[in-house]
Amino acid sequence: MAKVTPGEFVNQVRAEGRKVVWPSMKETRTTAIMVLIMTTLLAVFFFGVDSALSAIVKWLLGLIG
């Protein structure tokens, strides 16, 4: 592999950076809203599962003691 000088490296990084297609503000906002919605839904789901399993464990422990 050929060695690259620091100047060439910086030029290559800039060239690659120009190829990046950045999302628009609308796409960013839409994605952020979807992430918040999915996070909320998953939090509610896991809270429900955790509560149900906790109730089952308490009931089982109540049978023992």
Cα 36 from Cα 24, distance rounded (Å): 18
pLDDT at 43 over 80: yes
Amino acid at the residue 41: L
- Top-confidence residue, 22 or 36: 36
9-30 tens-digit pLDDT: 999 999 999 999 999 999 999 9
pLDDT of residue 4: 86
**pTM of the shown model:** 0.65
pLDDT at 45 over 80: yes
Q: How many alpha carbons fall within 13 Å on the CB side of residue 21?
A: 1
Element (H, E) at 40: helix 25-64
